[in-house]
Each structure stands twice: as C-alpha cells, then as structure tokens.
Amino acid sequence: MPLTAPAVKPANPNFSSGPCAKRPGWTVEALANALVGRSHRSKPGKARIQRAIDLTRDLLEVPADYRIGIVPASDTGAVEMAMWSMLGARGVDMLAWESFGEGWVTDVSKQLKLDDARIIKAPYGELPDLAQVDFDRDVVFTWNGTTSGVRVANGDWIPDDRKGLTICDATSAAFAQKLDFAKLDVVTFSWQKALGGEAAHGVLILSPRAVERLETFKPDRPLPKIFRLTKGGRLIEEIFAAATINTPSMICIEDAIDAMEWGQSLGGLAAMQARADANFKVLSDWVAKTDWVEFLAKNEANRSNTSVCLSIVDPAVTALDDAAQAAFAKAIVAKLDKAAVAFDIGAYKDAPSGLRIWAGCTIETADLAALVPWLDFAFAEEKAALKAAA
C-alpha cells in the first residue's frame, strides 16, 4: 500500500544552515532604502554602517569597551584576520570538533606554520576535553560547531585571569546562544547565519586585551591589506567606526540592519534565543519519540539549537556500507527538496551522513512542526524502497 504524504507543508521550506532563512515577513522591499549608487564613505553611507555596528552592540550586549568592525570575506575573513594578525606571540591551543575548527587548524599548522601549536580534537558528535586547554596560551575554538551540531554550553571553562587570548568563531551561535564576552577576546560571525543575512561580510569584535595584542605584537609574516588592523603600531580605529577596510555592499548593510531591527522588535537577544530554543524543542521532542533518528551530538547539554545535525540509526540503514548510508540520507533530502518541503537539509559534505536542519530564530516554529511528519514520510518511503530492492 502506498504511503500517504502529510497534508500540510512548511510555509517556508528554507532550512539551509547558511545562508539561512530570512526573517519572517521579509520581502525585497526591506531593501528599498539601501544606499545603492552611493559611496560607503559618504556621510549617509557611514551612518548606515554605524547603524549596523550599533545594532550589533545592542542586540548582542557587547561591552562598551569592545570594538566592533565589519570586515571582508564573511566569518572566514574575520577569523583569519585575527589569527594572522595576533597568533605567534605565545603558544596556541587549537580546538577542533568539526570541519570549520579543522580549517583553522590547517591555517595554523600549514599556512602560518606556528611551531608551538597544540591540536586538541574530538570526533564529530563530541567536544574535546576542555580541561586540557592551557590558558597561558592563546586558544582558538568554535562556540557552535555548525557542521556537527555540537556547541560549548557556556564560557565557564575559560578563566578570567587567562594570560592568552581566546579567539572564538561564533558564526552560528551569535544571536541564538548567549556569548560570554568577559571570557572572549575575539569574536567573529557573519550575517548569513542567525540573522538570515547576505553573505560575503564578516563581523569582528575585539576586547581591550585583543587590541593590546595588536598594538604590541608584530607578526613576522606579511599581511595582505584586508588583514591589516594596525598602522604605525596603533589600532586603525576607523575600521571600528564605520570606515570599512574595503567597499561593502550597501544592500547587504541594509539587509543586516533590517534583520537586527526585527530582532529588536521581538524584544532583543533573549527573545531571539527563545525562538531558537523553541524551534530546537520541536526537533528534540520529535527525536525523542522517533526510533530511526538520533542527534549526532552525544551530550544533551552540548546540542546546538541552530544547526541541528541528525544521524539515521535504523538497523536496516546502519547495516549498509558508508556509501549506501550516505545515498539513503541523500535520497530523503532529494525527496523533500522535490516536494518543496525542505531545501538544503543534507549533512555537511565533510560530516557523517545524515540530516542538518537549521532551527535559528528566523525559522518559524510552525514550519518545523510541519516538517517532522514529512521527515517520517520520506524515511518510510525510502526504507520501503530499500526492502523492495533487497
């Protein structure tokens, strides 16, 4: 007997983990006042860039003495600016438990070629032993593993009296998880994640300790122009006062402003986090009663409320070889894509096979509630096809 598809589809099928869904109600008219055709260095242009910086400080509750700058090349550019400009003054501990953390390890070991770099790793689904971290050294880590769905629960493991800097890639955590800025010296993210913004721009947040490092340490490597944060041994303050290093898209600036003003209208950071938590609960409740799927993240306390990564654990599937398991998951993804139920929910290319569903604050809880019956339906159809082929 053929299976019956659910009657209701998500109103918005965009569950990609980046670029993520736009805020509810977004239309292109939100960009009507973008300063297209105007210089970003004009008085109105700088005012809009400053507006984006001010909203970031307000929404993320960034301390007043931390600098905020909009920089090139998305979150990747922001992280690499920090690493290339600051690392090498002392030893560094590199933490990695998914692909982006692994990317920063590659930068440090193969590009910067730092001699005193310790690599502390964990497999997908787990955190490394944070007790191993030596805070007399610099530390580089992701707050939320976008491709594994594993996050640090808080910043309690970071001491206040650390001697090294903490450099935190927070790109899929910002606006959805509470960042403890007192524990963080460099924070980076991009608008394309929790804000549902456009790509290509990053945000770089520096503590006073990070500024001190920039002004007292001169790396023994050439720095491209887009990485340079100092001139004559002093911080280029203009970068953190609306004068960007290179030309930003004023359309992207306007889009980010729109998303953050929407966040303010909800009630600010707590309300944005509450939306992500409510979305995660829909998926968590479904996983708890579903025998064919589990979270990739082993520890409940470390499960991401944004990039939710799921493993298919049905015995008929786990009995297959790795390639066949991956093909099974991709068939579910393709089926839901074709039905315009869910777009782009496959696991990241370097991660274990499975599903990855974005549950950040721009997603409507009702859309996730509508999605889970479709997940069950698609799984059941693919399992039936697997049995028929056996």
CATH of the domain at 327: 3.90.1150.10
Pinpoint the alpha helices (H) of 203-249.
208-216
How would you class 294 by CB atoms within 10 Å of its CB: exposed for 0-12, middle for 13-18, buried for 19 or more? middle
pLDDT in tens, the chain (390 residues): 578 999 999 999 999 999 999 999 999 999 999 999 999 999 999 999 999 999 999 999 999 999 999 999 999 999 999 999 999 999 999 999 999 999 999 999 999 999 999 999 999 999 999 999 999 999 999 999 999 999 999 999 999 999 999 999 999 999 999 999 999 999 999 999 999 999 999 999 999 999 999 999 999 999 999 999 999 999 999 999 999 999 999 999 999 999 999 999 999 999 999 999 999 999 999 999 999 999 999 999 999 999 999 999 999 999 999 999 999 999 999 999 999 999 999 999 999 999 999 999 999 999 999 999 999 999 999 999 999 998
- Whether 104 and 86 have beta carbons less than 8 Å apart is answered as no
Domain boundary among 249, 264, 279: 264
Angle between helix axes 269-288 and 43-60 (nearest 10 degrees) is 50
Same domain, 80 and 211: yes
Name the pairing type of β-strands 186-190 and 234-235. Answer: unpaired
Looking at residue 390, what is its pLDDT? 82
Q: Amino acid identity, residue 352?
A: P
Rounded Cα gap, residues 313 and 294, in angstroms: 7
Distance from CA of residue 69 to its chain's centroid? 18
* Residue ranges making up the domain that contains 362: 268-389
- Whether 358 and 21 have beta carbons less than 8 Å apart is answered as yes
Is 89 among the domain residues? yes
Same domain, 343 and 249: no
Same domain, 246 and 160: yes
Distance from CA of residue 226 to its chain's centroid? 22
Phi, psi (rounded to 5 degrees) for 81: -55, -45
Same domain, 260 and 134: yes
- Whether 224 and 77 have beta carbons less than 8 Å apart is answered as no
Domain boundary among 240, 264, 288: 264
Is 25 among the domain residues? no
Specify the CATH number for the domain of residue 48: 3.40.640.10
Tell me which residue of 179, 161, 156, 199 sits closest to 62, measured CA to CA.
179
Tell me which residue of 146, 252, 248, 247 sits closest to 197, measured CA to CA.
252
Is 4 among the domain residues? no
Q: What is the pTM of this model?
A: 0.97
Rounded Cα gap, residues 136 and 188, in angstroms: 22
Looking at residue 1, what is its pLDDT? 52
Domain boundary among 264, 284, 303: 264
Domain count along the chain = 2
Same domain, 181 and 296: no
Is 10 among the domain residues? no
